[in-house]
Structure 1
Amino acid sequence: MTLSVRQIGPCFVGEVSGVDLRKPLSRQEATEIEAAMDHYAVLVFHDQDITDEQQMAFALNFGERENPRGGNITKTEDFRLDSGLNDVSNLGKDGRPLARDSRAHLFNLGNCLWHSDSSFRAIPAKFSLLSARVVNPNGGNTEFADMRAAYDALDDETKTEIEDLICEHSLMYSRGSLGFLDYSEEEKQMFKPVRQRLVRTHPRHGRKSLFLSSHAGAIIGMSMPEARVLLRDLTEHATQPSFVHVHKWKLHDLVMWDNRQTMHRVRRYDQSQPRDMRRATVAGTEPTVTQQAAE
């Protein structure tokens, strides 16, 4: 079979056929998929019944695995997965849905907010690859927003205003907006804000995009209320239906997205039922701005 991609979203998102992710990619296939990512920003692969090891091997065609430390509050001894994949399920180590009042569950609800994976890291993530191992029967769709198209649609005055703005990103901002304020001193140190450009340029095709996320809670040189009003306005603009694609998960779907060009969020679902989703994260290669100690 020959690898092919067809657009399924309003202005982005491609559906890929002609590739079996259980098998190693040829160099040509990896090149074609990365080129498709540059163009579509989100790729959907159906019917990929893969193991953790196969998922990770596929991801490593596009860069190094991101070090997951600092991305959650789960202790190492409580990890459900030992394969190097990020566990974005609603399951505990015992394989059962987390209790609704568990600290891990409450923290994970932040994934329902619009965000870009690992924007809270000094070097944010490149690609994320999410595999559906158990699909929840009620809800749980993932929505994606094209931040390139959102930037393009801004008026020239706004583009000029935001061109050089620097934001602070932290998991404490996103979780705090939901009322999660329970952090140990170790976690506060781990989640210290990092700085990211509000407008970033893609390194391969040079197209500009908004770099927004629920993790963004401050703008350097701007009062907190003013910054949050601007960030809220930009997020409302960027998540209009004309820029958004809704992915309705089927068993063994794998969806791959470029965090440099998109935002995403999961929609609410029945937390009493299992949802087993496993993510491989490809590390970014450089910061968007020189890091300084957050003030």
Structure 2
Amino acid sequence: MATASTTLTQLRHEALRPVIASRVLNSKAELLSGELGPEIRELLEERGVLVFKQVNFTDEEQVAFTKTLGEFAPERMGDGENVSKITLDIKENPGAAEYLKGSLYWHIDGTMNDVPILASLLSCKVAAPKGTGNTGFCNTYAAWDALPEERKAELKDLRTIHGVWPTVFYYDPEPSLAKLKGMRSVGENELPLVWKHRSGRESLVIGCTTLTVLGKSHFESAEIIHGLREWATQEQFSYSHAWDEGDLVMWDNTGTMHRAEPYDLTCGRMMHRTKLKGEEPFA
């Protein structure tokens, strides 16, 4: 008598750039089944950014898919398992639109925490006009790996101070004292310049929250911080996603930087975000 066989779902994907970003080709039903969770996690660590083109998840489906990949991380304490609306339109997001302007510049989420989130999942509900509002990503693993060995030796043990308030000067060069004090109330955090992961891999911890390098002068710090940002965001390490409504993109927050690219802040661009709880402290 013949024995019935079970066909397991296989993860299907294609590279979008040589060292960053892959498009996942599986159907919505296959993604929501949960069978692909471990493989997606492996691919995310390898590629940094995964694109699910016009998968058209509802909010409930996005939450469910997120939970197939790890522990769901609420946006804030008490928020529960819900999506968060991400927009710079002050009419739609009066409480946080000003704070989110820092997202227009290269950064890593969670530099105020000892354990940053593992990953973010962003779905497009309303896209900006074509040619604007992309989200840019760069691979900070690959950028570190490509540095000359003598430069790595100079950088590998350096420590930095991060804060939210330094990001204000990227978009408001003459901020009010009240704004600075409000941002400063979030605090500061000392972090390694180079994250030595449990896997043995290493990645850069830089971006617009980086204030200074300990033991260096102001200009020496600026040379290191901005020089490494310039290095890491070169085309060979980067991917820019042009959004269509229904797209979902997820990225490894432990090995990439990202930014929203410029767009008309009144155009109604709307993203819904979920996050995966961090599993590894900066080290």
Report TM bin, short chain: 0.7 to 0.9
Give the count of matched residue pairs: 271
Unaligned runs of 5+ in 2: 1-8
2:282 maps to 288
Map 1:250-261; keep pairs closer than 5 Å: 250-261=244-255
C-alpha contact 1:126 1:258 (8 A) present in aligned 2: yes
Which has the larger Rg?
A: 2
CA–CA separation in structure 2 for the residues paired with 1:4 and 1:23: 11
2:126 maps to 134
**CA displacement at 1:286 relative to structure 2:** 3.3
Amino acid aligned to 1:39: E
* Identical counterparts, % of pairs: 30
SS of match in other structure, 2:97: helix
**Match status 1:106 vs 2:114:** no
CA–CA separation in structure 2 for the residues paired with 1:21 and 1:233: 44
Instruction: Give the TM-score of the pair, scaled to structure 1.
Output: 0.83
CA–CA separation in structure 1 for the residues paired with 2:44 and 2:248: 14
Amino acid aligned to 2:158: L
1:54 maps to 61
Distance change (3 Å), C-alpha of 1:128 and 1:249: same
2:115 maps to 123
Spell out, residue by residue over 1:132-163, the C-alpha distance to the aligned partner (whole angstroms, 9 max, x if none).
Answer: 01111141001111112211121112101111
Map 1:27-42; keep pairs closer than 5 Å: 28-42=35-49
CA–CA separation in structure 2 for the residues paired with 1:247 and 1:215: 23
CA–CA separation in structure 2 for the residues paired with 1:186 and 1:219: 23
1:9 maps to 17
Map 1:12-91; keep pairs closer than 5 Å: 12-20=20-28, 24-26=32-34, 28-69=35-76, 84-91=82-89
1:199 maps to 194
CA–CA separation in structure 2 for the residues paired with 1:288 and 1:49: 34
Distance change (3 Å), C-alpha of 1:85 and 1:176: farther
Superposition RMSD in Å: 2.5
Amino acid aligned to 1:14: S
C-alpha contact 1:21 1:54 (8 A) present in aligned 2: no
C-alpha contact 1:30 1:61 (8 A) present in aligned 2: yes
Unaligned runs of 5+ in 1: 71-75, 290-295
2:179 maps to 183
C-alpha contact 1:122 1:287 (8 A) present in aligned 2: yes
Spell out, residue by residue over 1:167-203, the C-alpha distance to the aligned partner (whole angstroms, 9 max, x if none).
Answer: 12211121233324543866533x1111221111343
Instruction: Give the TM-score of the pair, scaled to structure 2.
Output: 0.86
